[in-house]
Amino acid sequence: MEHEAMKAKIDEIIARHSESKPIVAILQDIQEEYRYLPKEALLYLADAIDVSIAKIYSVATFYENFSLEPKGKYVIKICDGTACHVRKSIPILNALRNKLGLSDSKKTTDDQLFTVETVSCLGACGLAPVMTVNDKVYPAMTPESATALLDELK
Amino acid sequence: MNTIKQRTMTVNGMPVLIEGEKNLLELIRKAGFDMPTLCYHSKLSTYGACRMCVVEDKKGEIMASCSTPPRAGMEIKTNTPRLREYRKMILELMLADHNRDCITCEKRNNCQLKELAERFGIDDVRFETYSLDGTKDHSSPAIIRHPDKCILCGDCVRVCDEIQRVGAIDFVHRGSRMEVMPAFNMPLAETKCVNCGQCAAVCPTGAITIKSNIAELWEMLADDNTIVQAQIAPAVRVALGDEFNFEKGENVMGKMVAALRMLGFDDVYDTSTAADLTVIEESKEFIERYSSGENLPLFTSCCPAWFRYAENYHPELMDNISSCKSPMEMFGAVLKEKAKKDAEETKSKKKTKVVAIMPCTAKKSEVLQERYHYEGEPAVDLSITTQELATMIRETGLNFADLQPEPIDMPFGIASGAGVIFGVTGGVTEAVIRHVVGPEDRNTLAEIAFTGVRGLEGVKEVKLPFGADKEISIAIVSGLRNAEELIQAIKKGEAHYDFVEVMACKGGCIAGAGQPFVEDRARAERSEGMYEADRMSNVRTSKSNPITDALYRTMLSGHNAHRLLHYK
């Protein structure tokens, strides 16, 4: 039943796009819907737009922004671009990981609430160090303000 | 009109006429310089990734010749100190991320990377080896993936997509983490791979190879309680010679039969004999459908890669596909039936095993399919490729060139020329036309040959008068993308056919992935070899083959023909 709902959703997403069926744009919409790219969704998409699943997987793994793993309700991105890095973004990352029990290989909490990852630049260097939570920008963070934000979100 | 000067450029100081070459690479090769390449195949799209074909122009600019069109007045050099250094560096970097167990590699004799490393004198790799993890994918019955040997040229990805429209593999991740693999790194056996093996045929290294059944076969041959029978597919005879320095396309059937006996086979037969049965059965099926108008067009069923493709992508067409088994499976069933009867008569306890020598890798999967089994067991026990046979001949220490030719065994010792040409695109169709049209006289045969069935084009169309006022419309395609385009045209009502022959490999079985990998797979020469074998045979049509005639009066009488020769 859940699978049928997913098929309907993907049909709807495909219908939003032009006849040329742009893979990247469709994948972005699928990710927006599910917060990641579920395997079943990609398999269904391949058949629906008549593109090999290997090609879709190729596109999905090429872009860092696409995730094949389920993400938490709150996706926290800590900028580790040059400006943020020199203004101490790594201690913020470590503080969040420590508090949530996450690491470089384990990015999402077991309760599916938080995902913590780094990005190479958010383009807001003047506000460094920056992080985003579900695309909302939080400027000039410290380890303390970041962990405090976690409590707020919970 | 252009003057000569407006149409020439220079390569290493030598003037060369531009005659419509699509890139510098082809022009340079025309001028007599063998440019090294690892990712260039003239039949595939240009990728420009390996950078081995770099050239330098007079301004010192360096470009990849595969992806630069020739222009009048260009002055390029192909072998400057800078270019030599570039090439060596590129090779060294490729080798740094490459499993270098060359002695034990399946591709040791024809690895293009090894060849170039030798040619450019790479004696040392200064860089640290990284990202080799030893994984191998053995899941497929026909194809082995060994990613540690992949150089990311993408030839396999392009042939699988552009020629076969399967797209079982693609690039995954990017940068230093890039790999070629199926989606979700799933085992190849779980993808829509059709086992055609063309990826292995274009792979410059040992990253994709064909599964070998040699060890099992040696064991079978060594067992005194097993009678081992061989059947040789049509296309093998014009390609095996490539492994032993024969002229391209030379028919080495007689020597191959002699070699198989020396390897220990008890009986040696020709799959072309069973192809005659296929012609008779498929013609009958076609005439029935043509008369009733049901399930047309009739698609051929003898190519296992096509059959798998249709199952994967066009389940709605399965009623249109002929119910005939492939010649190999028909022969397997006939041989097993005969062995069973013989054993009952002689009270022998010996088992009989049937081994097929095939140009094809997909046959390795076909022999496992239950629908073709004979009384619960495989009708054909093993299918080995032309290349595997060559390896076995070498392993035995036979001097193939010196063998005295021998004939195939009775009671299946005759095959018609129609059965032999199954090995080339259009062959099945021509054989069926000969059967349907009728009289075996030279003029009719010559006329059929000129209807357009012959030639190596990917798509051919033939119209054939039938009866007083009817016409049979036929299409012949090779390459599964061509097949798909034809299917779409039929569905849209843009094309109408009564009979469609599909071969997955371009050019037909002569270019199968089990065949020796020579330049352009020697398609032209092998095709000519097939037609010459046909011209030289004293039986040209399937119904005039006395063997098939005798079979239909005995083993294949009544419903037995359907029981043994059809899969449904």
Do A80 and A148 lie in one domain? The reply is yes
Residue B188: φ, ψ to 5° = -55, -35
Which of B206, B68, B88 lies closest to B517 in space, CA to CA?
Answer: B206
pLDDT reading at B438 higher than 90: no
pLDDT of B404 reads 97
Binned at pLDDT 50, 70 and 90, residue B493 comes out as: very high
Going by pLDDT thresholds of 50, 70 and 90, the confidence category of residue B442 is low
Mean pLDDT over B255-275 rounds to 97
Amino acid B441: pLDDT = 65
Q: Are residues A84 and A51 in the same domain?
A: no
Partner B, chain A 48-67, Cβ-Cβ below 8 Å: 51-58, 61-62
Asked if B29 contacts B8 with a C-beta cutoff of 8 angstroms, the reply is no
- One domain, residues A149 and A78: yes
How far is CA B371 from each of CA B330, B363, B377, rounded to the nearest angstrom?
12, 14, 10
- Mark yes or no for CB contact A62/B184 under 8 Å: no
ipTM at complex level = 0.88
Domain boundary among A62, A90, A114: A62
B285 — pLDDT class (breaks 50, 70, 90): very high
Are residue A51 and residue A81 in the same domain, yes or no? no
* Terminal Cα distance for chain B, rounded: 64
d(CA B113, CA B94): 9
Q: Which of A41, A62, A83 is the last residue of a domain?
A: A62
Is 3.40.980.10 the CATH classification of the domain at B124-210? no
CATH number, domain of A112, equals 3.40.30.10
Half-sphere exposure of residue B467, counting CA atoms within 13 Å on the CB side? Answer: 7
Cis preceding linkage at A143, omega within 30: no
Residue A68 lies in a domain: no
Per residue in B45-74, pLDDT (tens digit) is 999 999 999 999 999 999 999 999 999 999
> Are residue A45 and residue A91 in the same domain, yes or no?
no
In a shared domain, residues A56 and A95? no
Is A11 contained in some domain?
Answer: yes
Residues of chain A contacting B309 with CB distance shorter than 8 Å:
none
- Contact: A54, B167; criterion CB under 8 Å: yes
> B4-79 sits in which CATH class?
alpha beta
Q: CB–CB of B274/B327 below 8 Å?
A: yes
pLDDT on residue B331: 97
Q: Quick one: A133 and A83 in the same domain?
A: yes
Question: Across residues B276-280, what is the average pLDDT?
Answer: 95
**Three-state secondary structure readout of B186-218:** CCHHHCCCCCCCHHHHHCCCCCEEECCCHHHHH
Mark whether A41 and A89 lie in a shared domain: no
Hey, which CATH number is domain B215-565, 3.40.50.1780, 3.40.50.300, 1.10.579.10, 3.40.640.10? 3.40.50.1780
Query: pLDDT for B112-142, tens place per residue?
Result: 999 999 999 999 999 988 778 889 999 999 9
The residue-averaged pLDDT of B415-444 equals 84
Is B447 a residue whose pLDDT tops 80? no
How far apart are alpha carbons B236 and B529 in whole angstroms?
11
Taking Cα atoms as reference points, which of B324, B327, B329, B305 lies closest to residue B478?
B305
Read off the pLDDT of each residue in B521-525 and give the average, rounded to a whole number.
91
Q: Give the percent of chain B with pLDDT over 90.
A: 82
Which of B174, B182, B184 is opposite residue A62, by nearest beta carbon?
Answer: B174
A39/B170 Cβ within 8 A: no
The pTM of this model reads 0.91
Domain ends where: A35, A62, A89?
Answer: A62
pLDDT digits (tens, 9 = 90+) for B69-91: 999 999 999 999 999 999 999 99
> Position of tokens 């470089």?
A104
Same domain assignment for residues A58 and A90: no
Residue A133 inside a domain? The answer is yes
The pLDDT assigned to B439 comes to 63
Q: In terms of residue numbers, what domain contains A140?
A: 74-153
By DSSP bridging, strand B351-358 and strand B382-385 are parallel
- The predicted model gives B312-328 an average pLDDT of 96
Q: Which pLDDT value is given to residue A64?
A: 85
Mean pLDDT of all residues in chain B? 93
Distances (CA, A) of A138 to B285, B506, B522: 73, 59, 66
What's the domain count of chain A? 2
According to the model, what pLDDT value does residue B241 have? 97
pLDDT category at B3 given cuts 50, 70, 90 is low
Closest chain B residue to A58, measured at CA: B172
Task: List chain B domain ranges.
Answer: 4-79, 124-210, 215-565
CB contact under 8 A, B170 and A62: no
In this complex, the residue of A39, A42, A57 whose CB is nearest that of residue B170 is: A57
Minimum CA–CA partner of A42 in chain B: B183
With respect to residue A67, please indicate whether it lies within any of the assigned structural domains. Answer: no
**B500 near B219, Cβ under 8 Å?**
no
| Interface residue A112 vs chain B (CB under 8 A) | no
Asked which of A117-121, B334-338, B391-395 is least confident by mean pLDDT, the reply is A117-121
- Asked whether residue B1 carries a pLDDT value surpassing 60, the answer given is no
Residue B440 pLDDT > 70, yes or no?
no
Query: From chain B, which residues contact A within 8 Å (Cβ)?
Result: 161, 166-174, 181-184, 191-192
Do residues A7 and A57 share a domain? yes
pLDDT value for B227: 96
Q: A139 and A96, same structural domain?
A: yes
Please report the number of interchain residue pairs, chain A to chain B, with beta-carbon separation below 8 angstroms. 40
User: pLDDT digits over B193-213, tens only?
Assistant: 999 999 999 999 999 999 999
Q: Indicate which of A27, A42, A51, A58 best probes the interface with B, i.e. most B CBs within 10 Å of its own CB.
A: A58
- Any idea which of B33-37, B100-104, B225-229, B434-438 has the lowest mean pLDDT? B434-438
